Amino acid sequence: MDWIDDFIKLYSSKEKGDFTKALELKREHIPNKLYRYRTTGNLEYLKGEICDGEIFLSLPSEMNDPFDSHSVLGEKHPAPYIQSKDEYMSRFKDIMDKDTFDKIFDDDNWFELMSLFTAENSGSSHNVNAIKESIIYATMKMLEDMNTTLNDTINKSYRFACFTEKSTNLPMWNHYANEHTGVCLEYDISTIYDVFIINRLFPIKYTEKLPDGTLLATHHKINEFAFLDYFLMHKLKDWSYEAEWRLILCPGTWFNSLGEVPKDYWHKGKKIKFAVPSKVILGTKIKEFDEEKIRKWCKEHNIPVQKMKCTEYGLTAE
């Protein structure tokens, strides 16, 4: 969707006022209803979701997509990541003669040529090309380590809950509601008046290639406030059938300083109060015992219940 591209551009912009514009744009497009597919594997936990409005925020590493919320390096050569070309030029201007200097630093492939020059003038008896390659390899290894650290920071810090825009999404019923034996919880977003929660609900941008955080960081393309959120808002197009929205939260939501964060926070999810579902939709293959339990809870809390049916017209709630 074009509006999602516009939202992410405004949200990550460094221009004054764009962040507010991003939130206003998002509010215009948040669906009135969002859905969350659940299994009946732990009925006590499901009861908390239905009766008490609880939801569980997971770590990115707990998702079924191993690249969820990841930065992925898009280049296999250091040059695109080097923002400080001028610094290298300053180092080498008194070492190289002018013709060599101009030839190297006027070339798009300047980093490799500079590495070759360094290898040729290293005084080592080793193969010049091998030395050049080792310089490039060491630089890329440093960039890979930076990317690993970024991904580790995202995974440890952020927690999120996933929602979708449709209650009749067949793959979602299959994948996240245990082959139609679970439920789909409907949430009326228009009745959530906590501005902070609404501001932390994000649409997912489905893309051919995940963002390269090392490139974005070295080129300072995203404002610092939005930098880590940026990765949690992107997924590969393979997952586009999910039509996902996410509630994304971090330690600052619950703690005033890093010193207050308990050690076990960094390695587990977090349960929070969100909202009581506006409706519970039962799967077509839900077990009779589970259905009876869930209908009883919903009756006690005045929550409407529907059940999915496979009809001649497709999947329909009755």
Q: Are 149 and 70 in contact (CB under 8 A)?
A: no
Enter the pTM of the model.
0.86
Token pair belonging to 280: 């519970």
* Positions in the chain short of pLDDT 70: 1, 83-84, 125-126
**Contact between 47 and 204 (Cβ < 8 Å):** no
Token readout for 268 is 């587990």
Using CB atoms within 10 Å of the CB of residue 296, give its burial: 0 to 12 exposed, 13 to 18 middle, 19+ buried.
exposed
CA distance 236 to 248: 18
Rounded to an integer, what is the distance from CA 15 to the centroid of its chain?
A: 23
| Per-residue pLDDT tens over the stretch 52-96 | 999 999 999 999 999 999 999 998 888 788 766 777 788 888 888
DSSP string, 226-278: GHHHHHHTEEEGGGGGG-EEEEEE-GGGT-SSGGGS-GGGGGS-EEEE----S
**What is the per-residue pLDDT for 318?**
80
Backbone angles phi, psi at 184, to 5 degrees: -125, 120
Asked if residues 182 and 81 have their Cβ atoms less than 8 Å apart, the reply is no
The pLDDT score that the predictor gives to residue 83 is 67
Please tell me the distance from the alpha carbon of residue 155 to that of residue 173, in angstroms, as a whole number: 26
Cβ-Cβ contacts under 8 Å for 37 (sequence gap 6 or more)? 164, 169, 172, 173, 175, 176, 177, 182, 183, 184, 185
At 116-154, the pLDDT tens digits run: 888 888 777 668 888 888 888 888 898 999 999 999 999
Report which of 163, 152, 153, 154 is spatially closest to residue 247, judged by C-alpha positions: 163
Q: What's the CA dihedral at 32, 34, 9, 221 to 10 degrees? A: 150
Q: Identify the pLDDT of residue 315.
A: 85
Please say whether the beta carbons of 181 and 39 come within 8 A: yes
CA atoms within 13 A on the CB side of 207: 23
CB atoms under 10 Å from CB of 196, counted, come to 8
Pairing status of strand 305-311 against strand 279-282: parallel
SS3 call for 36: strand
Q: Residues with Cβ < 8 Å from 293, sequence gap 6 or more?
A: 43, 47
